[in-house]
A = this chain, B = another copy of it.
Amino acid sequence: MDAYLTIIGKREVRRYQDRPISDAVLTQILEAGRASGSSRNRQPWRFIVITDRTRLRDVSTFMARPVNVSDAAAAIVIALANARAAFDGGRTAQNMMLAAWTLGVGTCPNTPLDEAALKAALGLPEEMAVPTVLSLGYPAAGERRPLRKADPAGVLKRINRLALGELVHRQTYQG
């Protein structure tokens, strides 16, 4: 799949088919997270892969939108060494979500509502941070799917984002 189209075409998918993700596909997604760069190559992350339905439901109770996680085919908890690693956490999460997208798997980052309780339920030490839990699954009917062929200009025109002119400054914030 084309890299640029994958990047600009990636949309969050929150409703999934009742279809498991194979270990081979999960491994490819996790490898993309492992390959991510990080400050001083510290790799301040651990990934907890959850596929057990009972545990997915348990974890979902700590999330802002439980259904995304409870009904997902899998979840990947991104556990960071500490909260200061959140920027690197976003890098590795994006790598995994883009890799999933190229494999036809939809994803969505889910913010914990009660991070302390979530960490306790997963057996994570207090000093670690969980900025997000990725929910994963093959997109349900009506959900967005990866674009195999599309005109990038058309994709960029249709996305629900601020215009580039509202986001970009030149040389300084006043420019």
Contact = CB atoms under 8 A, between A and B. Distances in A.
Interface of A: 1-12, 27-28, 30-37, 39, 41, 43, 45-52, 55, 79, 86-95, 97-99, 101-103, 109, 111, 122-124, 131-132, 152, 155-156, 159-162, 164, 167-175
A173 B10 contact: no
Nearest to A107: B37
Nearest to A90: B90
A46 B161 CA distance: 12
**This protein's copies in its complex:** 2
Rank and list the top 8 A-B pairs by shortest CB-CB distance, nearest first: A90-B90, A86-B86, A3-B6, A94-B94, A87-B90, A8-B35, A3-B3, A123-B173
B173 A124 contact: yes
Contact of A156 (B31, B90, B156, B160): B31
A46 to B, nearest CB: 6
